[in-house]
Structure 1
Amino acid sequence: MLTPAIFLDRDGVINQDKGYVSQIDDFEFIDGSIEAMLLLKQHGYLLIVITNQSGIARGYYSEEEFMTLTEWMDWSLADRGVDLDGIYFCPHHPEKGIGEYKQDCTCRKPNTGMLESAAKELEIDFANSYLVGDKLSDIEAGQKAQLKANYLVSTGKVVCEKGALQADVVFKDLLSAAKFIVNG
């Protein structure tokens, strides 16, 4: 049986986007984001983080540093009652990547590789799933995957006009989006 999911971008949706966040000391949950994830879990949604991490590709931090921070984030959320069902990341960049990380891949949003991997591994029902992001590439990935709806939040990158037009709805934050999702 397929299960609906909420696909969440990380920086700017779950945590403050301070530019290439890679250290625990720089990671700060956005107000209401934990409450939002709890609400979504209580309503039966899988929670999947999908995040482009071009800082790895650019050599700003290593995959190991990213994984250390990710493990800390995952445990911090679990300690607050939020169990993430999956965390997927893209370490590539087609122009600014260094070495093996310089590639035009299928996982970097707006491509759908991370969503497709999650769907295969977790048996996700795309037709009843949502994406919440803070930029156009997030929305485009959700649209390509034919998710039920794709939402922007204004807690991250400045919402561009094209993103606002392509998003199903623009919310002030993840908590507002979560309340909208669960209340239909």
Structure 2
Amino acid sequence: MRADGPRHGRPLRPAVFFDRDGVINADLGYVGDPSRFVLLPGAAAGVRAASAAGALTFLVTNQSGVARGFYTEDDVAALHRHMAGLLAGEGAHFDDMRTCPHLPDAPLAAYRRDCACRKPGPGMIVDLMAAWPVDPARSAMIGDKPSDVAAARAAGIRGLLYTGGPLEAAVARALAGEG
């Protein structure tokens, strides 16, 4: 635990970890440019509901488009700034975000590795839990793929498979201990 980080000296809180593509935005395949980013209806309401319930809100997203050369890490950062602006416009925010650009068989050698952060690995979730005052017993991951649920379980939290519908309902289930 870092003595200077947000976790130091704070009571543990529930957290909701959100996947990005397919949960927060339309999954249009390798979305790396703000012009292709479409916030899903109700996404901001779901993130806002988690915050209103006292939960920390985190984004954890694999971005193999970087490793494939479709866009850069700077492009992802710019897209996330754009996303944060859209969410803020609807009164929502993420407390923190993690991205994994790696891929075991990446065309770009700099990103070619089997990384523990790449879901279904738990690395991004574990990193956030180390940096923030997260109570794993009251926390959950909401994702649209089995790899999201597997990452959650590997990190010691519940995983909920999101198949659409109101994200607020998925957040309520996550915070009620379902999953």
TM-score interval w.r.t. the shorter chain?
0.7 to 0.9
Aligned to 2:20: 10
TM-score (norm 1): 0.86
What SS does the corresponding residue of 2:38 show, helix, strand or coil? coil
What SS does the corresponding residue of 1:104 show, helix, strand or coil? coil
The equivalences for 1:103-182 within 5 A come to 103-147=113-157, 149-155=158-164, 172-182=165-175
8 A Cα contact 1:132 1:174, kept in partner: no
Structure 2 unaligned regions, length at least 5: 1-10
Aligned to 2:106: 96
Q: What letter corresponds to residue 110 of structure 1 in structure 2?
A: P
**Identical counterparts, % of pairs:** 37
Q: What letter corresponds to residue 154 of structure 1 in structure 2?
A: T
Q: Structure 1 stretch 54-63 or stretch 25-34: which is displaced more?
A: 25-34
Structure 1 unaligned regions, length at least 5: 156-171
8 A Cα contact 2:16 2:174, kept in partner: no
Q: What letter corresponds to residue 42 of structure 2 in structure 1?
A: G
* Cα distance in 2, alignment partners of residues 182 and 144 from structure 1: 19
How many equivalent pairs are there?
Answer: 167
- For the aligned residues, what is the CA RMSD? 1.4
* Cα distance in 2, alignment partners of residues 71 and 176 from structure 1: 26
TM-score (norm 2): 0.88
* Cα distance in 1, alignment partners of residues 18 and 171 from structure 2: 11
* Cα distance in 2, alignment partners of residues 87 and 126 from structure 1: 17
Aligned to 2:6: none
